[in-house]
Structures are given as structure tokens and as C-alpha cells.
Amino acid sequence: MKKYKAYAKVNIFLKITGRRNEYHEIVSRFMRVNDLYDALSFVSKKNVQAKANEFKIIGDFDCTTKQNTIYKAYVALKEATSSQALEKLMRTYAIAVEKHIPAFAGLGGGSSDAATYLKMCNEVLHLGLSLNELAQIGLHVGADVPFFIYGYESANVSGIGEVVEAFDEELLAFDIYTPEVQISTPQVYKAYRESFYAPIDGFAADELKKKSSLDILNELDAKEANDLFNPALQEYSDLEQHYQDGYYFSGSGSSFFKVKEEK
């Protein structure tokens, strides 16, 4: 059965631009990580221990099925399309996930899995949904899902994740390490809101959006590049001992990355 790659991402920069109800609005440069991805495929339930009426995910996850972003993507797609073919597909097949992107890492693994599942279903069921339509469905699952739906190598992401604009630049290669620190994104945002709230204005956001990722990394340090790094350090003191000079913080953590040095 065909395998579909669900790539990781890093946030070259992540700045808060304001609030929208209970959400924070951001501007961020997402870049795909080409050598780190999960692999998803449909497998017949005849070949695995699965009941016909259960949504079955096979893979190394430490959450329940209903907490899994793939299941949430299924629910969102079913609500958007009322597709009987989708329900039949998931009665017949399970989703197998070869998991390589660590969880709680700021690398978008859950969002990428959800986006890839939506695109798989759209393809095999011939649902005919555009990328824009899939991105709207994906936004119900998570703010990072639209980026992975569009499949850009590099993009400026803004709003609450729904505005994704391709950025034309060469894809970078990264060294990434992920400490075993399980970070809660809501907790980090809460700490930012209470202790560090200082949104940038539209002029500063536009300047960042125009610069190449390499220029941004050369000009800013880890705390300047990511507004969530300081609140994450405040809430998770263990992070400090894992930080190495020259590395940057992805998303709300806990992964650190830097551009690979040419040999």
C-alpha cells in the first residue's frame, strides 16, 4: 500500500501580533524539514486486530484514539463532506503510522499527520476538495494544519494559522535535537500572555516576512526569534540546561535546531 510522507517543520521565527478572542495571532516562518517525517498508509483491517466499527490507528502514540489529530481530522472531514465513502473506508481500513517526529516537540508532527490524512482521503476517495477547502477543514483540527495541507517548503504563516503564503527561498537542512521535556502549548501561551505580552506591530511583521530565513537566523538570537522561548523557559526550567548556543527554539518547544554546517 502507498505510503504518504508527513514532514516535520521548524519555526524560523515566531512572533505574536495580537489577540483574537481566546487565540493569539502570530506571524511566523515555517520551513519544512525534508529528512524528518512520519509515514502514513491505509492497511486492511483483515490484516490487523481491528473491529469493523472502530477507527483504528496503528502506531507509537501515547494518547487515546479520540485525542489523536488523525481521528480529529476524520471527524472534521466527515462533518464537512457527509461522505458515506469515507465512513466505509474507515470501516474497511486502519491507518498505519510509522512515527519518527517526536511528540510535544514544536515540530508539527500531529498537525502534519492530520494534514496528510486529509490529503490521503481526498485522493483515494476522489472527494475533489481543493487545497483551500482542505485547509479550512484542517484548521478545525489545529492551527498548524493548513501549512502542511499546502505542502510549501517555506511559508509565512499568520493570523491564527489560516493565512499561509509561500515564501520563495532555498530549503535549508537542519540539525535538530529534542529534549525529553513534555511542553504544554496552552501553558506556554498563558505564561506569555501573563508575563511577556508584547506583540509586534504590522511594520515589524512585514519586515520579517520579506527576509530570507538565513538572514533572520543570522540577525536574531533564539529569544529574539521566538516570542515563546522565554515563557517556555519560565514554565519548564529544565529547558535551560538543554539549550546550546547557536540553536533556535521551534514553536512552543521543546525542540532546538540550527542550520547544518556545510562539510
- C-beta separation of 114 from 75 below 8 A: no
Name residues whose C-beta falls within 8 Å of residue 93's C-beta, 6 or more positions apart in sequence.
42, 43, 44, 45
Residue with cell string 508532527: 109
Name residues whose C-beta falls within 8 Å of residue 228's C-beta, 6 or more positions apart in sequence.
14, 188, 189, 192, 249, 251, 252, 253
Is 256 within any annotated ligand binding site?
no
CA distance 42 to 58: 10
Cα 88 to the center of its chain, rounded Å: 28
Kindly name the residue from 15, 144, 211, 227 that is annotated as catalytic: 144
Active site residue 9: yes
List the 248-249 sheet strands across, edge first.
174-177, 256-259, 248-249
Is 108 within any annotated ligand binding site?
yes
Number of H helices, E strands in the chain: 11, 9
Active site residue 210: no
Kindly name the residue from 9, 72, 119, 258 that is annotated as catalytic: 9
Is 138 within any annotated ligand binding site?
no
Is 184 within any annotated ligand binding site?
no
Is 129 within any annotated ligand binding site?
no
Is 44 within any annotated ligand binding site?
no
Is 142 within any annotated ligand binding site?
no
Is 28 within any annotated ligand binding site?
no
- C-beta separation of 95 from 72 below 8 A: no
Q: Which residues are catalytic?
A: 9, 144
- The annotation places the binding site for ATP at 102-112
- The annotation places the binding site at 102-112
